[in-house]
Amino acid sequence: MSVDTVSSIRKYVSYITSEFFEKQFNENAVIMRSTFEEAFNSLLDQYVLRDNSEVEKLRRIIVSFRPALSAVLQPCAEFDALMTMVQATLKVSWDGAHRRKNNTKMKKQGPIMPGSDESISLAFFCSVCDEEIDVPHEEKQKILNSEEEVELPQHCGQVVKIKISRTPVEKPVEEEAKDDAYEPIELLMGHIKADDIEYMKVLSVGIDIGSSTSHLIFSRLTLKREVSFFNMSNRFVMVNREIIYESPIIFTPLIDRYNIDIEAVVKFCEDEYKKAGITPEDVETGAVIVTGETAKKKNADEIVKRLSSESGKFVSAAAGVNLESLLGAMGSGIVAQSGYLQKNILHVDVGGGTSNMAIASKGQVLSTSCINVGGRLLGIDEEFKIWRIDGPTQFLMKELGMSYKIGDIILEADAKTIAREYARALIEVMRGPATSSVAKELMMAEDLNFSIPIDEVSFSGGVAEMIYGRDDGKYDDIGNYLAEEIRDQINELSLTIVEPVNKIRATVIGAGAFSLSISGSTTFHYDTIELPIDNVPVVPVHLRNELFNDEWFIEDIKRAFTTFDMVEGEDLVALYFKDYIHHEDRFKVFARAIEKALPNSIANQKPIILIFSYDFAKMLGISIRDETSIQTNLLCLDELTMEAGDWIDIGAPLKSTNAFPITVKSLVFNQNKEYSQDD
């Protein structure tokens, strides 16, 4: 394949896309074509010097098509149709390029020079004694290769005779050349032709009550369910997020250092709903999250519960530093970027009270952590008068030999010193486990898992706006000093920094768009169960297929309740089964074991919630209905991934489907590390 051929393929892809736009979107075809070409060319041209081979250039065309198309068209039936058309065209070129690359080239053989043919041998015989005479190899070569007459050796007084023979030489067995493995085009394009596709749009809200600021966003989420030979799942997944309204960012209203001003926060949210032209009845899903130092306030639990109950049909209350880290990384766009670039990126969301860290690798979050480092942990006005000192700063001042109190005038040098120490602690835990006494004290979660090398680092949150020079940072706190110190220390270490798409709004975008999971569509439930159900602890139960009998199964369920300090029949739990049930004839065994293991739940009409990682909730639900006395209080969901320690909210089925919205979360309020504070 030549460079000209690759250029022709690029032009042909643009031609197919243009013709498709003309046919499907006649009135908007011109502007769509222009926008697509601009995005497509931009993606390709930035790598023109990096992609040297024809295969690399073709790969770049393949991986760039979907993001370029997404610039003009949201996921829909037309989107899938065009992806399938272009994929079919590029697949031929992609497979052909690799076939040519892997073809083994036969080595050309030159002429056989005299003496180089190892199949020819010379033997010297004596005609007198009739024996073969041993002649040195060098002399043999001289006799064979000389262009002049050479005197032959003698034996028994006579010149020896020469016998020339050809010895058969076995040709070496050529190893069959193995083709280099290459990525399937379906993987590169992120698209598989499906037999059955269904789209659904839902309105979501994300509300973030942070240490420094609070805000909300409304998003239109596009969910897609597709069934194909390669994907037998019945689960909806989010394929697109469109932000349709962003509120102003306000300082989080506080009554005092211990309490959030709940009425002020509620009033703010009510006003923003009105400005957006949205009512709580319109909102189908979302999350309210309290982050950073605000999660330590005495009434943090109360504010999120009130907001979640008044903000929509299924809006979850969420908190917890690891959840914040996950949502911040997802909402910033870095997780998606790590997948597109196939990089390992350490992302840090630096807010007012905490820095939430996450390692994103090739599209997945592998590890999360959090440290008490933020721009609003020390509040100072323009005259350097202290108006706020949070617990971590009290600790840090003591370590530094400072004794400032609220109302004091702090030296600018001291304010910078505090910011420098915060930055040092953050950089320390961004590079490895906490080792210094300061970093250990400020840590709010386990250290990050650095089992993979970090390629790049990125930042979001309010302080990140200053790190990247997007904001002057005059907010009556040390945020600007902290940003400057982080930037300087990162530069000293020569770490590679990348800038995410979303910074200050990363967590609220994560709460509104990435907190939602959707169950499979083949579920089972009785209408008598009232939804939504909030704050349900997940209790894993292990299925050992080699010991699949009801006696063992009953004991393991009892053991699971005991492990999590739950009482069967009193506490509402979700029993989670990660393992696969290998034979359908075991469904009846499973059904009878559930009935025997949960007698109090059945008697008390407690909802029995069973969740499976594999797609057989409906079949098991039917077996339980047909084989047991459980006839009114059963909910079976599947195709969900959960872990011990998770809590979930379960909403009513979305629209006309049997797919249930699930929020997997943590609930941690007022349980963070406490620091002594002076009044």
Q: What is the pLDDT of residue 131?
A: 75
Residue 678: alpha-carbon gap to chain centroid? 42
Residue 382: alpha-carbon gap to chain centroid? 41
How many Å apart are CA 245 and CA 474, to the nearest integer? 26
pLDDT in tens, 543-594: 766 666 778 888 889 988 988 888 999 999 999 998 888 777 788 889 999 9
Q: What is the CATH number of the domain that holds 450?
A: 3.30.420.40
Domain limits for position 72: 1-99+185-193
| Token pair 């057989």 in the structure block, residue | 616
Residue 473 lies in a domain: yes
- Residues 135 and 213 reside in one and the same domain: no
| Token pair 């999360």 in the structure block, residue | 368
Residue 58 lies in a domain: yes
Q: What is the pLDDT of residue 521?
A: 83
- Residues 463 and 558 reside in one and the same domain: no
How many Å apart are CA 585 and CA 563, to the nearest integer? 30
Question: Phi/psi of residue 120, each to 5°?
Answer: -95, 130
Contacts (Cβ under 8 Å, ≥6 apart) of 320: 295, 665, 666, 667, 668
- Residues 57 and 189 reside in one and the same domain: yes
Beta partners for residue 635, in sequence order: 525, 609
What SS3 class is residue 530?
coil
Cis peptide before 280 (omega within 30 of 0): no
Residue 578 lies in a domain: yes
Q: What is the pLDDT of residue 670?
A: 41
pLDDT in tens, 71-85: 899 888 889 889 999
- Residues 538 and 630 reside in one and the same domain: yes
- Residues 93 and 156 reside in one and the same domain: no
Q: What is the pLDDT of residue 104?
A: 44
Q: Of 437, 466, 500, at which residue does a domain stop? A: 500
> 250-251 and 213-227 as β-strands: parallel, antiparallel, unpaired?
antiparallel
Q: What is the pLDDT of residue 672?
A: 47
Cis peptide before 67 (omega within 30 of 0): no
Q: Give me 20's structure tokens.
A: 């498709």
What SS3 class is residue 338?
helix
Q: Give me 626's structure tokens.
A: 């047909």
Helix (H) / strand (E) element for 545: namely none
Q: Give me 369's structure tokens.
A: 């952590």
Residue 174 lies in a domain: no
Residue 487 lies in a domain: yes
Q: How many domains does the chain have?
A: 5
Residue 549 lies in a domain: yes
Q: Give me 460's structure tokens.
A: 């979001």
Q: Please, what's the b/e burial string for 102-115 (b: 16 or more CB within 10 A of its CB; e: otherwise)?
A: eeeeeeeeeeeeee
Residue 664 lies in a domain: no
- Residues 480 and 368 reside in one and the same domain: yes
Beta partners for residue 389, in sequence order: 378
Low-confidence stretches of the chain (pLDDT beneath 50): 1, 3, 104-110, 112-115, 174-175, 177, 230, 667-672, 676-679
- Residues 345 and 327 reside in one and the same domain: no
Residue 457 lies in a domain: yes
- Residues 64 and 189 reside in one and the same domain: yes
What SS3 class is residue 669?
coil
DSSP conformation letters of 128-194: TTTEEEP--HHHHHHHHH-SS--PPPEETTEEPEEEEEE---PPPPPPPPPPPP---HHHHHT----
- Residues 535 and 393 reside in one and the same domain: no
For residues 519 and 662, the answer to whether their CB atoms sit within 8 Å is yes
How many Å apart are CA 392 and CA 422, to the nearest integer? 10
For residues 483 and 473, the answer to whether their CB atoms sit within 8 Å is yes
Q: Give me 119's structure tokens.
A: 């199949």
- Residues 147 and 202 reside in one and the same domain: no
For residues 513 and 206, the answer to whether their CB atoms sit within 8 Å is yes
- Residues 214 and 348 reside in one and the same domain: no
- Residues 354 and 468 reside in one and the same domain: yes
